[in-house]
Structure 1
């Protein structure tokens, strides 16, 4: 198996852009959104599969069709080696995100069972109450940080309600998940472990309670998981059950708050669209789809190939991660006309990859859409 270093040397002279140019690109190292988007446009045109040495080395994909194809081909582009960039500094693997089929399937089936339309509809009323309670102090002060004081706190309530946790869990989850994410971003293994251990404690407690007091598996993810069996017909292993619950605790704590921040920032500069959505709430679902396309928050999902694969003349070797970056695909002008502009009722909006595709499409998609819908309605209340 080739090492990351030898792979870097082998592609440095073959890529359409010099290695130094790629490694110093805003698409790789910057947090400046406009600069990142500009660089993605350059890469897409002249270097659609680019290798960078950052985070141990990985390939960056920038064309919609390539990214979609990789997401749909779960036999070649697998998740069990690397599923995010940067990876958890401790190298832990949790289902279903870090598993491939058939090992991935029972976990996915169990979670999907609790996210059917009827369940989502029942959650809506309670979530609206939480949203209004969180917003009341911001509205009274007429100022505040919408991401930290509302979006992250509301995300914790969404997770708490979906997983049927006790009310005191929500504020604990919000603060712990935030600290864990920051430690992960800084690749601080010690702090990542410290905060992750607290999340694991919550997961173990929930699993122990549901073993003793099982609930309706149609509405309780942990009880649903306990019904499932592995591909060999055996009960799912304790370590993986805890890992899946732990994964579920934070699955909605990262992306939805970031996306809501992008939405609020955009709406603050488009008073006309704000008023239009207030006057006609039936437009909100279409607006949310376009917002998801424009503000897909993840840049770092990853796959590795199960066999050497050649793309645009570059050999992708086993073990070297690839980033099928959905936010880049959603700005591809070959698919979305005028991709950097908000277009309500965009004709091909269903083609966006904001929630991925294939076996690893976002399991929480229905919950995420409910989050954005309730939150958007709360932060932009209609007169009267």
Structure 2
């Protein structure tokens, strides 16, 4: 089904639909503006349309987004997975495929994120976080994104993929460039750096084919060993999967940790609370993920005409599922704009999605985030914001620069 949908969309081109323009999406924002927009849309127009980015719908209510993510037969990810469309190169499973096509890729990589493996990775990630943050402390002032969070995920992923040191250094440099290009919508730089990452992925495949590693600990070996109905997975799609895994964890930690820096500068009492009781850091990380969800939301495309909230969405019109809006929906979360650690009766936040395309790497991402907050609270007494925080825009949410002074 997903391949047919994709081919049909490519054949018909990017048709511009005549629709109401309920909100402006292609705008310059401040730190709080996206949440103000979603609060407004949830109240007056929870299923909204914008003519920006070639036209798209956005769902803002938790219940609507939950239902869409759970129904991959109606809401396909194979056509367009973010708004605006940014993919410029090949298809990258599992994100670019619907079930059941995506399932062999998920089945191959999911065991790499099981609890036992995360117990192995915990000390490694904490060590990287400390090594990157510790030199910043004597400076007193630094940019939390440019000097720390741009680097952290790239270092972690280089270790995760067991990339040789020389290649890892290049991945770190290009990864930062790709990250910045994506945040600033520099299409030429995105294409250039994306192609480099494909070259890295192909190099890793060639190395693992010549010298396989244990598929229970190495992502590339796991994909090469995987079988679908007894057949090997197509190598060009294994290439796409590795390329996707190389970058999927780069963007979100960068902007999210920037948001954490802003939050702690606004709420020093929360920083002090975690410094005094580090056992609260995992729960605080989940609440911060709810408050500052780093993806506004991934996109889906209806396979047929569908009515939601009194609005009719046509087949093939892109729909952004606004995770950031759902996670502040007052119908799902009491006092949704407040930082609270007692939400025992609340539903799970959607920062990592849910359903068939829930983020497979969420356990590793959580390790990076909790390790960072642990290191922050261990090595300093708090943050003070000392400059502007330019923001990314769709599909991400969060600052791309956070200049801080240590308290």
TM-score, normalization by structure 2:
0.86
Q: Separation in 1 of the partners of 2:44 and 2:312?
A: 17
Is 1:266 matched up with 2:263?
yes
1:155 maps to which residue? 153
1:310 maps to which residue? 307
Q: Tell me: CA distance 1:323–1:157, structure 2 relative to 1, closer, same or farther (3 Å).
A: same
Question: 1:30 deviation in Å?
Answer: 3.6
1:284 maps to which residue? 281
Q: Tell me: CA distance 1:185–1:153, structure 2 relative to 1, closer, same or farther (3 Å).
A: closer
Question: 1:326 deviation in Å?
Answer: 0.5
After the TM superposition, which residues 323-334 of structure 1 pair with which residues of structure 2 at under 5 Å, given as runs?
323-334=320-331
Contact 2:134/2:379 (CA < 8 Å) preserved in 1? no
Q: Secondary structure at the match of 1:253?
A: helix
Identify the range of structure 1 (221-230 vs 58-67) with the bigger mean alpha-carbon deviation. Answer: 221-230
Contact 1:200/1:246 (CA < 8 Å) preserved in 2? yes
- Select the residue among 353, 358, 363 that pairs with 1:361: 358
Q: Tell me: CA distance 1:236–1:89, structure 2 relative to 1, closer, same or farther (3 Å).
A: closer
Question: 1:314 deviation in Å?
Answer: 2.1
Identify the range of structure 1 (273-282 vs 215-224) with the bigger mean alpha-carbon deviation. Answer: 273-282
- Select the residue among 332, 337, 340 that pairs with 1:335: 332
1:248 maps to which residue? 245
Contact 1:163/1:221 (CA < 8 Å) preserved in 2? yes
1:46 maps to which residue? 44
1:322 maps to which residue? 319
Q: Secondary structure at the match of 2:142?
A: coil
Contact 2:90/2:240 (CA < 8 Å) preserved in 1? no
Q: Tell me, which stretches of 5 or more residues in structure 2 are unaligned?
A: 1-8, 381-407
Q: Separation in 2 of the partners of 1:36 and 1:48?
A: 14
Identify the range of structure 1 (169-178 vs 346-355) with the bigger mean alpha-carbon deviation. Answer: 169-178
Contact 1:287/1:345 (CA < 8 Å) preserved in 2? no
Q: Secondary structure at the match of 2:57?
A: strand
Q: Separation in 2 of the partners of 1:125 and 1:6?
A: 50
Contact 2:174/2:193 (CA < 8 Å) preserved in 1? yes
After the TM superposition, which residues 1-384 of structure 1 pair with which residues of structure 2 at under 5 Å, given as runs?
7=17, 9=18, 11-12=19-20, 19=21, 22-23=22-23, 25=24, 29-88=27-86, 90=88, 92-184=90-182, 188-230=186-228, 232-381=229-378
Contact 2:151/2:176 (CA < 8 Å) preserved in 1? no
Contact 1:49/1:312 (CA < 8 Å) preserved in 2? yes
1:284-331 deviation digits (Å, cap 9, x = unpaired): 111111011011111241000111111123221122110011111001
Q: Separation in 1 of the partners of 2:203 and 2:132?
A: 27
1:15 maps to which residue? none
Q: Separation in 2 of the partners of 1:195 and 1:67?
A: 32
Q: Tell me: CA distance 1:170–1:3, structure 2 relative to 1, closer, same or farther (3 Å).
A: closer
Q: Separation in 2 of the partners of 1:349 and 1:264?
A: 25
Q: Secondary structure at the match of 1:251?
A: helix
Q: Separation in 2 of the partners of 1:79 and 1:131?
A: 33
Q: Secondary structure at the match of 2:312?
A: strand
Q: Tell me: CA distance 1:238–1:211, structure 2 relative to 1, closer, same or farther (3 Å).
A: same
Q: Separation in 2 of the partners of 1:91 and 1:253?
A: 18
Identify the range of structure 1 (356-365 vs 143-152) with the bigger mean alpha-carbon deviation. Answer: 143-152
Identify the range of structure 1 (165-174 vs 286-295) with the bigger mean alpha-carbon deviation. Answer: 165-174
Contact 1:278/1:382 (CA < 8 Å) preserved in 2? no
1:160-180 deviation digits (Å, cap 9, x = unpaired): 122122234444323322322
2:405 maps to which residue? none
Contact 1:89/1:187 (CA < 8 Å) preserved in 2? no
1:47-66 deviation digits (Å, cap 9, x = unpaired): 11111111111101111100
- The CA RMSD over aligned residues, in Å, is 2.1
